[in-house]
């Protein structure tokens, strides 16, 4: 049987560049080489696309772009080509046709519909959600709006744009009246908890805005939910498979960047230490969110479970962390008995079958 030509794209011009490298490392190590002919394409932090002929350790330790065999790569928008133009170092060029693109690009310029749009123009199937669902899920305000209209409960929220005439004091008073203290402040379009602050007073509000606006021009303010976070992995296009529900046990204010990737004081429980009835309800909500946002391929749905046993949507991740120890693969392994290699094969099958 002829191998599937798979292009794995990693890195990216994003604050989540390093996370992408670690996710890509796990994916590359687990791709069955008897079934796939793999082309590796890295994007530097400056946004330069490079063909990468080296080994996976160079990706993991962020030295991949120093490999002397690297050369420029262009994903052609020409739908009759269906592939890349490789600009060799001797100034010659060649075309590389591919059957599927696997974008392992977290955050901006990768998870927000941009790379998905380029793949659409190129006529190449790609792993994960489409352009619309990727962009809507990336924007926390739009996720709230769509899901609330679909009957999914979300935390009370409001948004703030970084405008020249922004009246910080007035915005704070409005937020205080609507959300009370403490509240959470998040850049609308980032992941991995970059730029998030817990706000307890006006001074923290001002400093929180400064931090959040470094990552985005729009900020979402949310009421603090008294409870803990649970999550659910969803896999599929029309027919969905739902993994085990997990739980984040926290000892600090929130699951920040360090805790997500180093877990110094937090712990992930999979399965979650909640009743079977609550697990079933969480899965139903995850299913409803996935359908409302028109997701495909894969998505991790994050929720809060309150002390009164109410489940409230937190956010949605269309390209969640995919290292061997990340939450999404763990939820599939525990809930669906699906190993990492099988998971990769299923994602490519879903992409080509869309």
E strands within the chain? 4-11, 36-43, 49-51, 71-75, 83-87, 93-97, 100-104, 157-161, 183-187, 197-199, 218-223, 227-236, 240-249, 267-269, 297-306, 311-317
Predicted pLDDT at 265: 60
Predicted pLDDT at 190: 77
Predicted pLDDT at 257: 44
Instruction: Answer whether 107's CB lies under 8 Å from 93's CB.
Output: no
Predicted pLDDT at 194: 79
Domains of the chain plus CATH, in order, are 4-126 (3.40.50.20), 137-153+226-352 (3.30.470.20), 157-223 (3.30.1490.20)
Q: What angle do CA 214, 220, 221 make, to 5 degrees?
A: 115
Q: How far apart are CA 101 and CA 42, in angstroms?
A: 13
> Per-residue pLDDT tens for 3-51?
999 999 999 999 899 999 999 999 999 999 999 999 999 999 999 999 9
Contacts of 19 by beta carbon, 8 Å cutoff, 6+ apart: 106, 192, 261, 321
Predicted pLDDT at 192: 54
Instruction: Answer whether 152's CB lies under 8 Å from 303's CB.
Output: no
Q: How far apart are CA 54 and CA 38, in angstroms?
A: 12
Q: How far apart are CA 51 and CA 8, in angstroms?
A: 10
CA–centroid distance for 258 within its chain: 17
From residue 241, alpha-carbon distances to 119, 232, 334, 343 in Å are 25, 11, 13, 11
pTM score over 0.85: yes
Predicted pLDDT at 179: 97
List the one residue out of 246, 205, 247, 274 whose CA is nearest residue 332: 246
Q: How far apart are CA 81 and CA 210, in angstroms?
A: 45
Helix, strand, coil shares of the chain, percent, nearest 5, are: 35, 30, 40
List the one residue out of 9, 195, 209 whose CA is nearest residue 118: 9
Instruction: Answer whether 96's CB lies under 8 Å from 87's CB.
Output: no
List phi, psi (to 5°) of 39. -115, 130
Predicted pLDDT at 264: 53
Instruction: List, for the chain, all residue ranges whose pLDDT scores fall below the cut of 50.
Output: 254-257, 259-262
Predicted pLDDT at 269: 97
Instruction: Answer whether 344's CB lies under 8 Å from 267's CB.
Output: no
């Amino acid at each position: 049987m002829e191998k599937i030509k798979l292009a794995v794209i990693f890195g990216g011009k994003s604050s989540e560049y390093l996370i992408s490298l670690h996710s890509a490392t796990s994916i590359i190590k687990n791709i069955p080489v008897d079934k796939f002919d793999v082309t590796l394409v890295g994007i530097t932090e400056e946004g330069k696309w490079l063909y990468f002929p080296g080994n996976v350790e160079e990706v993991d330790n962020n030295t991949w772009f120093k490999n002397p065999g690297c050369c420029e790569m262009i994903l052609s928008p020409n739908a009759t080509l269906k592939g890349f133009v490789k600009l060799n170092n001797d100034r010659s060029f060649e075309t590389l046709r591919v059957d599927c693109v696997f974008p392992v690009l977290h955050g901006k310029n990768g998870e927000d519909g941009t790379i998905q749009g380029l793949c659409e123009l190129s006529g190449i199937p790609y792993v994960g959600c489409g352009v619309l669902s990727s962009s809507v899920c990336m924007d926390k305000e739009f996720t709230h709006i769509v899901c609330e209209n679909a009957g999914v409960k979300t935390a009370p929220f409001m948004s703030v744009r970084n405008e020249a005439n922004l009246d910080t004091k007035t915005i704070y008073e409005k937020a205080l009246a609507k959300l009370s203290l403490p509240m959470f402040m998040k850049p609308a379009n980032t992941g991995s908890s970059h730029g998030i602050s817990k706000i307890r007073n006006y001074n923290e509000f001002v400093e929180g805005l400064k931090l959040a606006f470094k990552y985005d021009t729009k900020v979402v303010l949310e009421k603090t939910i008294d409870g803990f976070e649970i999550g659910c992995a969803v896999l599929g296009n029309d027919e969905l498979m739902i993994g085990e529900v997990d739980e984040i046990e926290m000892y600090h204010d929130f699951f920040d960047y360090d805790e997500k990737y180093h877990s110094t004081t937090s712990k992930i429980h999979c399965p979650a230490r909640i009743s079977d009835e609550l697990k079933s309800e969480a899965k139903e909500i995850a299913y409803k969110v996935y359908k409302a946002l028109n997701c495909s391929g894969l998505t991790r749905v994050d929720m809060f479970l309150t002390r009164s046993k109410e489940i409230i949507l937190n956010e949605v991740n269309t390209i969640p962390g995919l290292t061997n120890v990340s939450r999404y693969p763990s939820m599939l392994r525990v809930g669906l008995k699906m190993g990492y290699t099988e998971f990769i094969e299923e994602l490519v099958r879903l992409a080509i079958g869309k």
